[in-house]
Chains A and B, each alone.
Chain A
Amino acid sequence: MKHDSFFKQFSLSVIWFWLLLFALLPFGLVTIASFLSRNDAHLITFPFTLINYLQLNNSIYIKIFKESFYIAGICTAICLLLGYPFAYLIARMQSGFKNLLILLIIIPFWTSSLIRCYSMITILKPKGVINSILLWLGVIDKPLPLLFTDTSVMIGLVYNLLPFMILPLLTNIERLDDRLIDAARDLGANRLTTFRKIILPLTLPGILSGCILVFLPAMTIFYIPDLLGGSKSILLGNLIQNQFLIAENWPLGSAISVVFTLLLAILLLIYWRSTRSNQSRDFL
């Protein structure tokens, strides 16, 4: 086919136009800013310098990165464990209420996440719902310190990101062909084997999509650890925020952002290369 179809040309024009203008250009600006310096009058100014990147080799920043990675990882794992069975059950439903059930997942999330965080605070605080009930029942005689802990932060993160795991999984699992499962059973496989050998590989694209949509925002979110965790440690989101807003060191903030993007891109690339042997054409 020597000349491209109209559809292909039109679509590609739209996509390239948008992404070049609003994704590449801003990222380019940020990358350039990361090589610049600053002075009292201007937030970013010449000369070009590598000093921002050199400053990154700092045990505190590495610690912050590791901790953010760890928390985002655990959050993703929990979302996957909770979300997969949920998505599986709903996707395979035959009921006419299926669409309604799917919409019911997402409607709570159209209220401000900040207000829902405050609801969580209301539930978890020393004089909050949980403690009041437990005290009234006589199960405890002093309020439990549920708020301002790592657990409350994790609950908040999972709560806010779970739909981002469920929805991609749902749309993927829906395409699962029953006949493959039946065939496996006919050949004598028990449920575990069927799951391991048939269902899991086929739903892998959905799993990976869900993980991406949860892990990446989890690494840069900052207001949930602040509100529910008491702001006691600095995560990547806070760090970049501080550089841009408080320290007013835009070049350094840009450098951190660029390094973070590159690191994650490399990780994803390594993962992609290592799973290339599989036939599955997932998004990576």
Chain B
Amino acid sequence: MKRLLAIFTLSCLFFSSCLHAADDNVLNLYTWSGVIPDFIIQQFEKETGIKVNFSTYDSNETMYAKIKATPEAGYDVIEPSSYYIDRMRRQGMLEKIDKSRLSHFKNEDPEFLNQSYDPHNHFSVPFIWGVTGIFLGTNDLAKNSITRWANLWEKKYENRLMLLDDSREVFAIALLALGYSINDSNPEHIKQAYLKLKELSPNIKVFKSDGVITILIDEDIDVGMAWNGDLYKAKKENSKLDFIYPKEGFVIWVDSFAIPVNAPHRDNAYTFLNFMLRADIAKAVSLSNDYPTPNLAAKKLLPKEIRDNPIVYPAHAILRRGQFQTDISDEALDLYERYWEKLKMEG
């Protein structure tokens, strides 16, 4: 009897604590860390009176897992990469964006719109983009010695390479070296890519996706894969760094804003998106986070040294060699994972 009473009391206390908080005029923002500066958030709050709850994540995968597990997680705006936009829109996790409500959408560069990962941009608003290429530190004397991904396989780079810790990015360099698409789902091609990577193993020193900028500046590693935005940032503190756009092609990644289905404050989300699309805001953001912006109107406002800097904004002829990442089937993803595990454990 007493036991039942105790359990009952505890249950009451427990469930009474599940009351939902009152809904204010807020925006629940959920993006990558380091891309939206605080002063922009403060400016938005001042201009619109909307309070922003700003949370950040460190990878697409963790953001996706959380929203998949609880669709009512309560976020209003998220910032997935291109292939996650693809995946999430196919699974009905994203709200269709009514572009008539975004008066500044016309600022966007048409080059980055209507790609295969989101035709007509029904679900995403591109925010920042970048390229994965080869970086070169100070130790390599002949700067023109590397022009292709294939060069990384040379013996002189034994135990010197830093590759990104991302299975699709690393497989992309083998697929490109073999002449295939970075979004290849063909098991035979994937296997060939794996075998090619196995040959590269002796040259790989570390796999790293975080703290890359520190490594570039401090020259812990002097050659490998990196994002052009990271290299541009690092070059400010170490001018001897160089960035190469490989001849076989490269990955172009785009991070876009999207609105999850069940977003509790949809109107505020639209207000925010339109705000971020403004040329002056996008320009301030780009100057602060050092990433290239897909906002053409903003780009025109940037200082000439940045607009003409080939590391940040490669020429059109070079950019054409790049490929956007799209979603691939679960079976193909599985295959990539298996080979990735094999590569790390046996390579």
Contacts and interface: CB of A to CB of B under 8 A. Distances in A.
Are any A and B Cβ atoms less than 8 Å apart in their complex?
yes
B345 A248 contact: no
A6 B2 contact: yes
B205 A230 contact: yes
B114 to A, nearest CB: 24
B206 A230 contact: yes
Interface stretch (B105-113, B287-295, B328-336): B328-336
A20 to B, nearest CB: 10
B10 A13 contact: yes
Contacts of B69: 43
Nearest to B165: A231
Contact of A234 (B61, B204, B344): B344
Interface string B1-41: 01100110011000000000000000000000000000000
Interface stretch (A164-172, A200-208, A237-245): A237-245
A103 interface: no
B65 interface: yes
A236 to B, nearest CB: 12
Contacts, number: 96
Q: Which of B90, B92, B205, B220 has the most CB of A within 10 A?
A: B220
A247 B10 contact: no
A245 B59 contact: yes
B344 A40 contact: no
Given A244-B65, A245-B59, A40 B2 contact: no
B219 interface: yes
A91 interface: no
A13 B6 contact: yes
A148 interface: yes
Given A6-B2, A231-B207, A247-B333, A40 B91 contact: yes
Interface string A50-75: 00000000001001100100000000
A109 B345 CA distance: 32
B24 to A, nearest CB: 30
A231 B11 CA distance: 45
A234 B345 CA distance: 6
A276 to B, nearest CB: 32
A150 interface: no
Contact of A60 (B91, B330, B333, B345): B345
A233 interface: yes
Interface in B285-325: none
Contacts of B211: 118, 121, 227
Interface residues of B, number: 40
B345 A63 contact: yes
Interface residues of A, number: 39
Nearest to B59: A245
Interface in A16-59: 17, 38-41, 43
B208 A248 contact: no
Contacts of B345: 60, 63-64, 67, 233-234
Given A13-B6, A13-B10, A231-B208, A40 B220 contact: no
Nearest to B338: A60
A40 B327 CA distance: 11
Contacts of A64: 341, 345
Given A12-B3, A40-B329, A127-B219, A232 B207 contact: yes
Nearest to A118: B211
A119 to B, nearest CB: 13
B62 interface: yes
Contact of A14 (B10, B218, B342): B10
Interface string B48-75: 0000000000010110110011000000
Contacts of A247: 333-334, 337
A144 B218 CA distance: 15
Contacts of B165: 226, 231
A38 B208 CA distance: 30
A97 interface: no
A41 B340 CA distance: 24
Contacts of A231: 165, 206-208, 344
Contact of A246 (B7, B61, B219, B220): B61
A249 interface: yes
Q: Which of A230, A233, A243 has the most CB of B within 10 A?
A: A230
A234 B341 contact: yes
B167 interface: yes
A239 B218 contact: no
A249 B2 CA distance: 45
Given A14-B6, A64-B341, A248 B62 contact: no
B12 to A, nearest CB: 12
B330 A17 contact: no
A10 B6 CA distance: 6
Interface in A72-116: none
23 contacts: A6-B2, A10-B2, A13-B6, A13-B10, A14-B10, A38-B330, A39-B330, A41-B91, A60-B346, A64-B345, A127-B219, A147-B220, A226-B210, A230-B206, A230-B208, A231-B206, A232-B207, A244-B65, A245-B64, A246-B337, A247-B334, A247-B337, A248-B65
Given A14-B10, A230-B206, A233-B344, 20 more contacts: A10-B2, A12-B3, A14-B6, A17-B10, A40-B90, A40-B329, A43-B69, A126-B220, A127-B218, A127-B219, A148-B206, A226-B210, A231-B344, A232-B204, A243-B337, A244-B65, A245-B61, A246-B337, A247-B337, A248-B330
